[in-house]
Chains A and B, each alone.
Chain A
Amino acid sequence: MSPTLWRASARHLLRHPAQLALAVLGLALGVATVTAINLAARSSERALRLSVETLNGRATHQIAGSPAGLDESLYVQLRTSDFDADLAPVVEGYAEVAGQSVLVLGIDVLADARVREFSALPGGASLEALRRWMNEPGMALASQPTAQALGLRSGGTFRVNIAGVTRDAHLFATIDPRPGLDNVLIVDIASAQEWFSALGRLSRIDVRVADGAAGARQLQGLQARLPTEARLLTSAEHRSDLTGLTAAFTTNLQALSLLALLVSAFLIFNSVSFAIVQRREVLSTLRALGVTRREVLALIVGEAALLGVVGASVGALLGVELARALLVLVSDTINDLYFVLTVREVAVEPRSIVMAIALGCGVAIAAALAPALEAANSQPNLGWRRSVLESRAARGATLLALTSGAFLVAGALLASLSQRSLLAGFAAMLLLLLSVAFLAPALLRAVGGASARVADRISATVRLGLIDSARSLSRTGVAVAALGVAISATLGIAVMVSSFRQSLEQWLTRTLRADVYVTAPGPGFARPERVIESAVVAKLLATPGIAEHRSARRVSVDSAFGPILLDVLQPASHSLEAITLVGGTAPEVWNAFASGAVLVSESFAYRHRVNVGDSLALRTPTGERAFRIAGTYREYGTDRGTVLMHRATYEAIWHDVAITSLGLYLQAGVSDHDLIATLRGATADQQALLIRSNRDLRALSMNIFDRTFAITRVLYWLAAIVAAVGLFAALLAHGIDRARQNALLRALGLTPRGAATFISAQGLLLGIVAAIAAIPAGLLTAAVLVLVINRRAFGWHIDLHVSGAPIVNALLIGILAALLASILPALRAARPQIAAALREE
């Protein structure tokens, strides 16, 4: 193609720097959002993978046991038998040091060196070093960055808080930094057993077998020697068990981040369409001169690709910075809901950056393709007539409105007919959002015309502005569509979050019935070390003023579905009424529960496709055992799902009497505030427990919920900002296109204020129309998010709660975005270079 043609194209872009900058900015924000979420999620995943790999070392397998771990005699038996693979016993748990969560890894330093490189003592295993390490309690190793982050110095003493009990520790030495060792303390196994009250127990035994046939033989021999309570799993299985936990969470975040990119696509579509409209005479002249359709197409798509490369590259760089901010939110959520994870830095993988740039370019080219094809296929002579363009846009608007209806029906059908597919759920949501986009131009035409008739009695300028917007669909149609999509997406997200919040609030009100809750503190979900010491339990329950109590224990046990969360409950006389049954009827379910059956949460039932009457196989110390599922219940604590078992059943099988939390019901007239003070005073010297009133626990739960959805709110605002940028770009471009007409109106006597009113009225119309189109679709989007996507991703049922606030907010976002976007174009319209503008063709 002619280089002069490319030069003309480049100069056109550079002659309109504001338009170019806004298009680049819009795309950059969309790409930045997707990149940031992707990097934050991948960085968390990478931190988890590195941590597991480093801590597993060269171990190929591990022997795991029941919630209380393995009897250490198993290790002794294996070591003293003729089993020849490398074995390393481990006792691990979570603690707090200087207010930060740390993983305490208890190892046998002599056995461990064959499995993990980092566990060798610094300076070699001299007898003196070994003597001190093994004989002095509380000796710990930490990597240099960890020691620095926790404020520890080599040889110094520090305090370790485990489930509210404080232990003294000494930093024996620091070891070289290595990925995966952030916030890890390595201690001697005996110290770990003492700290975690696990004397004679092991968390697991790491195994390293040889490669090939020899390894297979070793594994066969090992299997034959294992007791029924022990399970042999590969290191890869262990890793995938962990990474699988956050899959639904990260998939949802990534899907929501694509909303911002979708809005960006409209912005690019708008920019390219406008660039074509602006150059309609030039393109027609080129076609008349002999430029082929294919060359016109290549020219426009080439421009879009260039825009894509620049916008996506800027977006990828912005995304890395944004990821640093979002990483905190993502890792907080993973820590709140899934497992303890320390992520200090964003891992910028070149592949992610290349993918982001490719995605941005792809979006830019795809968005440009439709207007480029239209421009290429237009008759050269018709291109010169503005009226043809607008009448074509008006006909197109009617066609698009019909398509919008078809999308709506297709979205509804897809959502209802696709049984469990999350992808189909997101596709249904996309169709709904596109239906808004497709309806917007026709609505703009209708509302613009109608409001112009009303405005006729108020102001001729406003009327002119409204008519001009409604009749300039080739310019305004896409802008209003982009804003409509952004508003309906943000409304959908807002209603989804508020529905979830209200459902959670109702659930907490029903579920939390005790007056005071006592919990063993500490990081991590279902960690066995989170135990209220038995002497402390006795002291707590002996405190005057307590009418009755219920106790709970949360552990992780193996099942046919992998590790699952087991909630063990000793109910109080009426506490079972607090549990919302969604499968099974009350007296039968609770009778069966007391007799050994289990209940499963909604998420668990959905995720594992089990129901009332089915049986659930759990690995117990005496081997695999089937438990009848007596009922299903509502639970919003974790999307992994939980299994509820009566304490009597659990204790009889697992012989674990530990308690993680207590719910205390007070005698009439006893103040929870006073009782909490008494309980704290009574236990402070033994264990620093978390003792909260019912009200405080509910507030804390809602705070965690809000923290979990903080990142969703960030995505919500990013999509709204991209839409505002799009609208600003459209109004600015419309203003440039209308410069001659504005100048003419000013020459005819329109005041500067009148010119500004003219543009503001147009902006306001676009904002209102976008909101009108977006509100019903936004509510439908919310319904899809709540009833389809949340169900399929997390398995829980949320009631749809629609209040006026999100709708009013959506309307305000539309109007404010439109008015803000109008300011600069209105100022430009008010002060045009009248003579110059009139001279220009």
Chain B
Amino acid sequence: MLSLRSVCRSFREGERLHRVLDGADAEIRDGEFVVIVGPSGSGKSTLLNLISGIDRPDSGTIEFDGAVVSELAEPERTYFRRCNVGFVYQFFNLIPTLNAEENVRLALELDGVRSTDARQRAQALLEQVGLGSRAASSIDVLSGGEQQRVAIARALAHEPRLLLADEPTGNLDAESAGQVQDLLRDLVRHRCSTLILATHAEAPRALADRVLELKDGRLREIGR
């Protein structure tokens, strides 16, 4: 269970204080697929960063399965992320100096999986996302859709209980976007992971269990 209670986060831009989150509350159950919608700049990425422990709220608490993430110090927040969170980004954020298989394997090795085992599991994951034959390919020769599938494989490699996807289809054409959405949903369902997908697109809403709108720094449930 993921709980957000009165989460506030603001950023200073020169003299002006920009309140991005202003008392956001939410309860997300295990295995749930939640889509967070809102226009650009509404704070969706900030919210995902706070949930993953990349950033810390100014006030309020974020709790995941009894652990108060918002109160963890370094390096516990990193360990939390390493064990529990998978991330999928709009711009993929793959490591350009590693090939597809190595990008996936990296997440496993960070989680303590031995190199040979990690290699086999990475290969299997790439096959699951339909890229078994491109395992040795450099990142820069893959298409956008393929890169995002590698990113998904990487995000799920260490079997996280929480998958955070920040505009995962924002940089893809309609066909690739559809494939990625289906893949995400199927993999998450199959693994019983919680998926929180932030987007300003309409399409993913239909696939979600619930849709939360982020507006004026607060979350509220809206219809799909």
Name A's B-contacting residues (CB within 8 A): 2-5, 7-9, 11-12, 15, 281-282, 284-294, 379-381, 840-841
Contact = CB atoms under 8 A, between A and B. Distances in A.
Nearest to B98: A8
6 contacts: A4-B102, A284-B93, A285-B93, A287-B54, A290-B81, A381-B55
Contacts of A294: 75
Nearest to A286: B95
B102 A7 contact: yes
Contact of A379 (B55, B83, B87): B55
B143 interface: no
B98 A7 contact: yes
B102 A288 contact: no
B81 A288 contact: yes
A293 B106 CA distance: 16
A131 B55 CA distance: 97
A293 B81 CA distance: 13
A398 to B, nearest CB: 16
Nearest to B106: A4
B72 to A, nearest CB: 13
Among A2, A7, A287, find the residue whose CB has the most chain B CB atoms closer than 10 A. Answer: A2
A4 B95 CA distance: 11
Contact of B54 (A8, A12, A381): A381
A288 B95 CA distance: 12
Interface of B: 45, 49, 52, 54-55, 74-75, 78-79, 81-83, 85, 87, 89, 91, 93-98, 102, 105-107, 109-111, 115, 140, 154
B82 A289 contact: yes
Given A285-B95, A288-B87, A381-B54, A5 B109 contact: yes
Contact of A8 (B79, B95, B107): B95
Contacts of A288: 52, 54, 81, 87, 93
A15 B97 contact: yes
A286 B96 CA distance: 12
Contacts of A15: 97
Contact of A841 (B82, B83, B91, B106): B91
Contact of B97 (A8, A292, A379): A8
A769 B34 CA distance: 55
A287 B95 CA distance: 12
Given A281-B93, A282-B95, A381-B55, A292 B79 contact: yes
A171 B105 CA distance: 78
A781 B97 CA distance: 45
Nearest to A296: B78
Contacts of A11: 97-98
A9 B82 CA distance: 20
Q: Ordered nearest first, which 10 A-B pairs have the shortest CB separation?
A: A290-B82, A2-B109, A11-B97, A285-B93, A292-B75, A4-B106, A292-B78, A8-B97, A380-B54, A290-B81
Contact of B110 (A2, A9, A284, A841): A2
A531 B59 CA distance: 92
Contacts of B85: 290
A9 B154 CA distance: 18
Contact of A3 (B75, B115, B154): B115
Q: A-side binding surface: helix, strand, loop or mixed?
A: helix
Contacts of B87: 288-289
Given A287-B78, A289-B107, A291-B110, A379 B95 contact: no
A527 to B, nearest CB: 67
A233 B107 CA distance: 73
Nearest to B122: A4
A2 B119 CA distance: 12
Nearest to A15: B97
A290 B78 contact: yes
Contacts of B54: 287-288, 379-381
Contacts of B154: 289
Nearest to A841: B91
Nearest to B109: A2
Among A7, A12, A288, A290, find the residue whose CB has the most chain B CB atoms closer than 10 A. Answer: A290
Nearest to B48: A381
Given A2-B106, A841-B91, A12 B81 contact: no
Nearest to A840: B140
Given A288-B52, A288-B81, A289-B87, A12 B97 contact: yes
B105 to A, nearest CB: 5
A8 B106 contact: yes
Given A289-B82, A379-B55, A380-B54, A5 B74 contact: no
A762 B174 CA distance: 43
A292 B93 contact: no
Given A2-B110, A282-B95, A289-B106, 8 more contacts: A5-B109, A12-B97, A281-B93, A288-B87, A289-B82, A290-B82, A290-B110, A292-B75
A290 B83 CA distance: 8
Contacts of B52: 288
Nearest to A290: B82
Contacts of A291: 78, 82, 110
A282 B49 contact: no
B43 to A, nearest CB: 12
A2 B89 CA distance: 22
A3 B54 CA distance: 24
A288 B81 CA distance: 7
Contacts of A3: 109, 115
Contacts of A380: 49, 54
B96 A282 contact: yes
A294 to B, nearest CB: 7
Nearest to B84: A290
Contacts of B106: 2, 4-5, 8, 289
A281 B94 CA distance: 9
Contacts of A5: 106, 109-110
B105 A4 contact: yes
B73 to A, nearest CB: 11
Contacts of B91: 841
Among A4, A7, A380, find the residue whose CB has the most chain B CB atoms closer than 10 A. Answer: A4
Contacts of A293: 74-75, 78
